[in-house]
């Protein structure tokens, strides 16, 4: 079946710096300076460029003295290195800068000899200041140099300890150089619009795709224009026009900062056609060619419209989605579409731990006679504003032929935003964990079991409609929210519905339906769509309270649209520093399909930032870093990512809100959608905790945290992981938690006024014996622990299973652990022993019968206390 991890308690704070035992000769110096918060450094005339920027170091003393502490603007946190020479601290400014001042605020362990260096590439360094008689304290240096990267390079310590900086501040100005970058086309793949097109085969984007075999062509009238959005204000130095024979005799090149007011930077009335290379000067985010007189009786037609820039201009948003995003158009033949679908499926059908990732995207319209079989790491999605804009007259299918009809390992795939008219009257979606089914409109039945009715262990539906019945058959458990269904055919162990019109009433445990008429708070996942001009937008749905039914049945889903030009389109080859620079610049983030090594924490600090993945992008932290962190800000949305632990233990894979977060976000919570975690399986991996939620009011909307029970790098001492989820924030709501196989508590809930609707868990398979898995004097850790300090919590439809395949004699004490208090309530709990491999003595605390025996019969508890 499936696997997921457990954690005991929040990670402890980093140990304090050891008490100093310095030589007598240093004593008087340290009395004056040791461990005292530094004064604020003087501000420079030029702006501070380094604060919050990506920061790395040659080493850190411990997890509590990270490199980023020296550029966080907080004089109570610091970076501290290992106790050796040389050591360095480096900040990435995000763009080439003229550096005018550097301020160093040293802790007691300062540098006697060090240099300030700059670099354009992070590899070759130029020294712009140096000393061998450093005095420590606060040092304000007037310097002169240029570079994107600035570092302090220490060669001699003043103490027996490492180098330690409260703050490292770099002041200056950006603007870059003066040369014209003719090697890079700033317009390539950027969003484009035009006054008109001759037909659908000659769109505006065809002139910006780098393909001299495709072109834009306008209507046969004057004037006409073609416009490109560069994503940010750029300084222009050259434009290259590659005309088809229908060229412009008279035209202008114009720029704009807002797309409304235009400035002419080049004009001619004697255009020669062919390839025109135009040297010019101007700046703007938008650039257009504005034709006023045609040279022929046809329209204007360009094979390519290239723009070259100079100087700094920031990191542009938007751009191509990469080779593993395959887009289908209704004008394509069914045979062509089917061939491409089959090619991807054959590669991914059994590719459970491979590195290939795909997004299959369908433009609005009708498609007939296709069967889209969906394998591992594959997302199929419609590009309409609403599900019914993309109509599949055929099938979207997940089956388990690759695994002999057993669907319990059908992970990591998704379907979203399309209407399906299934060829046989039903759609088969036989999945287990990490396989979301969102914004789907099934005109018929939905079958959740594989062909032959082998086991399946899913699953999740949101914001969808099934006009027929949902047919679980052999599906063990399922969670559906905010949807419309024609009914349910059966239930196996645990079927939970929240805000589902047409769902059966609660009858747990016979049959085991748990139904909430409304979902107290919910929000659907952001998604890509094409607007009327054929440009990509990301739709950001609004928060719903007391929701029932799909958000789009009464009209378009409420929310806002954000153009793709406001997203940094990340590719697997991008450095983490570049991704952080784009976020710091104010861009949102779109991860395209692929595997991303994360060399430093991806930091999301801006309120309202959207971080969206398509095609299961996989983030793997390197050298034990935390892969991603979110500040204590409003309205961040994280969606569609897989965090895969690296070989060096990370304390946390994803942290939402810093430790001690206190702000209220009730009006605009941070939400986590379809975010998955994996410890081992694809390779050796270790992480103490997968997800820590410190923010108040956060919304968790479908996660699967899995400590692998099969694959590569699997073993009790190999893929080590304590806990899948720790919730420290108050008023946190979880809709659809799947957490499995961690080695201590799977979930720890420390916050008050929390809610969990649906929880599915398997305890770790592989404790070598009971003695290796003791929680004090108790055998085993509960799957879900509500902390003793919590006074209010409520949970519905929560199950934990055991399968101790190394030592089947293990008897875990209980599945759930919570304080006995009036405000702490559970509804519809169950425990199961799978085939009698081990047992669970109680359901919750000391209550409930023992789950045991080879018949795999659940033990149910309707309410607690």
Which positions are catalytic? 762
| Token reading at 522 | 């919910």
Count other C-beta atoms under 10 Å from residue 252's C-beta.
Answer: 20
* 456/820 Cα distance (integer angstroms): 35
> Could you tell me which of 592, 641, 593 has the C-alpha nearest to residue 621?
641
Q: Do 374 and 413 contact (CB within 8 A), yes or no? A: yes
Helices marked H in 211-287 — which ranges? none
* Bridge partners, 839 (sequence order): 811
CA max distance for the chain: 92
321 Cα distance to chain centroid: 16
Using alpha carbons, list the distances in angstroms from residue 478 to 432, 471, 492, 494, 563. 9, 11, 9, 7, 35
User: In Å, how far are 102, 167, 315, 355 from 338, measured between CA atoms?
Assistant: 60, 58, 38, 23
Query: Within 13 Å of residue 406, how many CA atoms lie on the same side as its CB?
Result: 6
The order of strands in the sheet holding 445-447 is: 426-428, 445-447, 470-471
Residue whose C-alpha is closest to residue 11's, from 788, 842, 547, 725: 725
- Is there a contact between 232 and 315 (Cβ–Cβ < 8 Å)? yes
Q: C-alpha angle 719/781/716, rounded to 5°? A: 20
User: In 111-144, which positions are buried (b, 16+ CB within 10 angstroms) versus exposed (e)?
Assistant: bbbbbbbbbeeeeebeebbeeeebebebbeeebe
Name the pairing type of β-strands 824-833 and 55-57: unpaired
Q: What's phi and psi for 335, nearest 5 deg?
A: -65, -40
What sign does the dihedral 447-449-450-452 (CA atoms) show? negative
Task: Provide DSSP, 378-412.
Answer: EEEEE-SSSGGGEEEEEEEEB--GGGTT--TT--S
Burial track 826-855 (b if 16+ CB lie within 10 A, e otherwise): bbbbbbbbbeebbbbbbbbbeebeebbeee
- Coil, helix or strand at residue 262: coil
- Which residues have C-beta within 8 Å of that of residue 182, sequence separation ≥ 6? 238, 308
Label residue 538 exposed, middle or buried (CB < 10 Å: 0-12, 13-18, 19+).
buried
Which secondary-structure segment (H or E) carries 578? Answer: helix 576-585
């Amino acid at each position: 079946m499936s696997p997921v991890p457990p954690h005991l308690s929040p990670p402890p704070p980093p140990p304090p710096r050891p008490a100093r035992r310095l030589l007598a000769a240093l004593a008087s110096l340290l009395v004056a300076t040791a461990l005292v918060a530094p004064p604020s450094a003087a501000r420079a005339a030029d702006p501070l460029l380094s604060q919050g920027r990506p920061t790395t170091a040659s080493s850190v003393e411990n997890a509590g003295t990270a490199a980023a502490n020296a550029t966080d603007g907080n004089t109570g946190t610091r970076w501290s290195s290992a106790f050796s020479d040389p050591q360095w601290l480096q900040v990435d400014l995000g763009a080439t800068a003229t550096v005018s001042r550097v301020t160093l605020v040293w802790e007691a362990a300062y540098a006697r000899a060090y240099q300030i260096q700059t670099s354009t590439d992070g590899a070759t360094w130029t020294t712009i200041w140096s000393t061998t008689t450093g005095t420590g304290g606060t040092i304000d240096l007037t310097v002169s140099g240029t570079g994107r990267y600035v570092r302090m390079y220490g060669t001699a310590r003043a103490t027996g300890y490492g180098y330690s900086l409260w703050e490292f501040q770099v002041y200056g100005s950006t603007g870059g150089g003066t040369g014209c970058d003719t090697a890079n086309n700033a317009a390539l793949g950027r969003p484009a619009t035009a006054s008109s097109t001759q037909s659908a085969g000659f769109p505006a984007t065809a002139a910006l795709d780098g393909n001299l075999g495709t072109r834009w062509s306008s209507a046969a009238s004057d004037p006409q224009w073609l416009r490109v959005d560069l994503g940010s204000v750029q300084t222009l130095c050259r434009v290259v026009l590659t005309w088809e024979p229908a060229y412009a005799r008279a035209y202008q090149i114009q720029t704009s900062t807002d797309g409304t007011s235009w400035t002419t930077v080049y004009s001619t009335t004697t255009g020669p056609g062919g390839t025109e290379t135009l040297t010019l000067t101007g700046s703007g985010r938008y650039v257009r060619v504005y034709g006023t007189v045609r040279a022929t009786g046809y329209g204007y037609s360009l094979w390519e419209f290239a723009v070259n820039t100079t100087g700094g201009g920031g990191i542009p948003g938007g751009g191509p989605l990469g080779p593993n995003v395959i887009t289908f158009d209704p004008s394509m033949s069914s045979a062509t579409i089917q061939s491409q679908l089959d090619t991807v499926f054959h590669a991914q059908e059994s590719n459970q731990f491979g590195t290939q990732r795909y997004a299959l995207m369908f433009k609005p319209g009708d498609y007939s006679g296709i069967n889209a079989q969906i394998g591992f790491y594959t997302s199929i999605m419609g590009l309409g504003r609403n599900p019914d804009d993309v109509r599949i007259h055929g099938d979207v299918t997940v089956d388990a032929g690759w695994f002999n009809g057993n669907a319990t390992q059908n992970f990591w795939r998704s379907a979203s935003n399309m209407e399906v008219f299934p060829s046989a009257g039903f759609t088969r979606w036989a999945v287990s964990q990490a396989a979301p089914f969102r914004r789907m409109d099934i005109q018929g039945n939905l079958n959740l079991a594989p062909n032959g009715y082998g086991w399946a262990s899913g699953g999740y539906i949101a914001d969808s409609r099934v006009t027929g019945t949902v047919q679980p058959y052999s599906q063990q458990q399922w969670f559906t929210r905010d949807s419309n269904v024609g009914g349910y055919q059966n239930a196996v162990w645990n079927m939970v519905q929240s805000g589902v019109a047409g769902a059966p009433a609660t009858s747990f445990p016979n049959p085991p339906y748990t139904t909430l008429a409304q979902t107290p708070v919910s929000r659907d996942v952001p998604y890509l769509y094409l607007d009327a001009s054929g440009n990509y937008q990301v739709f950001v749905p609004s928060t719903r309270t007391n929701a029932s039914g799909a958000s789009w049945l009464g009209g378009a889903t409420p929310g806002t649209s954000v153009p793709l030009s406001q997203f940094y389109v990340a590719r697997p080859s991008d450095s983490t520093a570049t991704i952080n620079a784009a976020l710091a610049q104010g861009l949102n983030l779109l991860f395209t399909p692929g595997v991303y090594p994360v060399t430093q924490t991806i930091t999301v600090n801006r309120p309202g930032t959207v971080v969206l993945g398509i095609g299961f992008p996989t983030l793997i932290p390197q050298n034990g870093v935390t892969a991603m962190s979110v500040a204590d800000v409003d309205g961040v949305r994280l969606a569609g990512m897989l965090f895969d632990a690296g070989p060096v233990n990370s304390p946390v894979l994803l942290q939402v809100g810093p430790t001690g977060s206190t702000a209220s976000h009730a009006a605009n919570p941070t939400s986590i959608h379809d975010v998955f975690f994996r410890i081992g399986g694809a390779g050796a991996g270790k992480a103490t905790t997968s997800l820590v939620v410190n923010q108040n009011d956060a919304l968790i909307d479908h996660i699967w945290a899995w400590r692998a029970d099969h694959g590569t790098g699997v073993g009790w001492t190999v893929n080590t992981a304590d806990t899948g989820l720790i919730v420290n924030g108050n008023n946190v709501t979880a809709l659809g938690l799947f957490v499995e196989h961690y080695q201590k508590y799977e979930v720890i809930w420390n916050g008050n006024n929390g809610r969990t609707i649906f929880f599915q868990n398997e305890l770790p398979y592989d404790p070598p014996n009971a003695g290796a898995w003791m929680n004090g004097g108790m055998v085993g850790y509960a799957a879900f622990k509500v902390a003793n300090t919590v006074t209010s919590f409520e949970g519905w439809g929560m199950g934990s299973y055991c399968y101790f395949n190394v030592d089947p004699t293990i008897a875990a004490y209980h599945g759930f652990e919570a304080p006995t208090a009036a405000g702490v309530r559970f509804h519809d709990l169950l425990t199961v022993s799978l085939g009698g491999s081990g047992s669970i003595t109680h359901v919750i605390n000391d209550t409930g019968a023992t789950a045991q025996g080879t018949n795999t019969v659940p033990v149910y508890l309707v309410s607690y206390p």
